[in-house]
């Protein structure tokens, strides 16, 4: 079965996206030369961020320069909005932290790895807007502290090695086992537990369509694999109408 045939049979689609859906918006993916792993010059652990002001200063400068502040959603994001408006999206799960699905018009979006749009104080838990913290950096603070208690301000993203929010994981797993097709786009499927959602959906009987420029470890369980840019493949796939099957 090819990807178009799989889409034609799909009324309840759970979508799983990764950094590859935002590269055409100018946001580098994880493994690109400008990706977040390399933008800091080296790997850093959350513990370093919490205890070392020099690490925080580097991270705040990188956040200020992050391409997501000027990026616009692209054809891949808009295609998924169209699929949702057609009433065919069971859930949109994303590993991205850039908010571009929401900016395009998708709602709700399950953000598996959190969002770069918010801050939270590591000491008192006070929530805040990343834009407010970045305004302070622009105004000259190199390590803006929590306005409530003076503690360390973190982004509301999930760092490597940190646990995902259990409620988010629960809703992602239920969406994976309760769909007739999982549409995977722009992710290397190397990061767990997000990648495992694909195997979960396949075992529950869903068709799996993987749209990615490179091979992934889950290509073997996929019903169909589509290479090439998601800015082209997703608009083509969402345009495939549902074919009625059986008595209605």
Query: Helix 75-85 vs helix 230-238: angle between axes, to the nearest 10 degrees?
Result: 20
**Under 8 Å between Cβ of 63 and 157:** no
Nearest-angstrom CA–CA distance, 143 and 164: 26
Sole binder of ligand NAD in the list 20, 73, 118, 144 (CB under 6 A): 20
Q: Which does 96 bind (CB under 5 to 8 A by kind): Zn ion, ligand NAD, none?
A: ligand NAD
Q: Which of 22, 84, 102, 223 binds ligand NAD (CB under 6 A)?
A: 22
The structure tokens 């045939």 sit at: 5
Going by the DSSP 8-state scheme, the letter that residue 163 receives in this structure is P
Q: Please, what sign has the CA dihedral across residues 45, 50, 54, 55?
A: positive
Residue 144 makes contact with ligand NAD by CB under 6 A: no
For 94-105, what is the HEC assignment?
A: ECCCCCHHHHHC
Per CB under 6 A, which region of 24-32, 44-52, 80-88, 126-134 contacts ligand NAD? 24-32
148 binds, among ligand NAD, Zn ion, none (CB under 5 to 8 A by kind): Zn ion
**Across-strand partners of 16?**
93, 184
Q: Is 95 in the site for ligand NAD (CB under 6 A)?
A: yes
Which residue of 171, 213, 219, 240 would you call a contact of ligand NAD, by CB under 6 A? 213
Q: Return the sign of the alpha-carbon dihedral for residues 165, 169, 175, 178.
A: negative
Stretch that binds ligand NAD, among 31-39, 52-60, 121-129, 162-170 (CB under 6 A): 31-39
Give the residue numbers of the binding site for Zn(2+).
Answer: 121, 124, 146, 149
The residues binding ligand NAD (CB under 6 A) are 18-20, 22-24, 27, 29-31, 35-36, 95-98, 113, 186-188, 190-191, 212-214, 229-231
């Amino acid at each position: 079965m090819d990807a178009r045939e799989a889409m034609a049979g799909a009324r309840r689609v759970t979508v799983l996206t990764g950094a590859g859906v935002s590269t055409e918006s100018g946001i580098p993916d994880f493994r690109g030369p400008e990706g977040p792993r390399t933008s800091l010059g080296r790997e850093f652990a959350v513990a370093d961020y919490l205890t070392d002001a020099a690490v925080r200063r580097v991270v705040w400068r990188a956040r200020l320069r992050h391409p997501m502040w000027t990026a616009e959603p692209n054809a891949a994001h808009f295609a998924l909005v169209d699929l949702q408006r057609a009433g065919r999206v069971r859930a949109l799960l994303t590993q991205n932290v850039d908010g571009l699905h929401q900016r395009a018009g998708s709602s709700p979006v399950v953000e598996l790895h959190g969002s770069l749009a918010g801050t939270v104080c590591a000491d008192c838990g006070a929530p805040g807007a990343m834009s407010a913290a970045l305004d302070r950096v622009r105004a000259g603070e190199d390590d803006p502290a929590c306005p409530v208690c003076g503690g360390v301000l973190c982004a509301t993203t999930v760092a490597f090695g940190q646990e995902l929010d259990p409620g988010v994981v629960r809703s992602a797993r239920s969406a994976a086992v309760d769909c007739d097709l999982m549409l995977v786009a722009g992710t290397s499927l190397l990061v767990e537990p997000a990648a495992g959602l694909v195997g979960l959906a396949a075992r529950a009987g869903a068709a799996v369509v993987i749209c990615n420029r490179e091979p992934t470890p889950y290509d073997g369980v996929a019903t169909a694999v589509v290479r090439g840019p998601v800015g082209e493949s997703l608009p083509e796939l969402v345009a495939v109408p549902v074919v009625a099957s059986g008595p209605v």
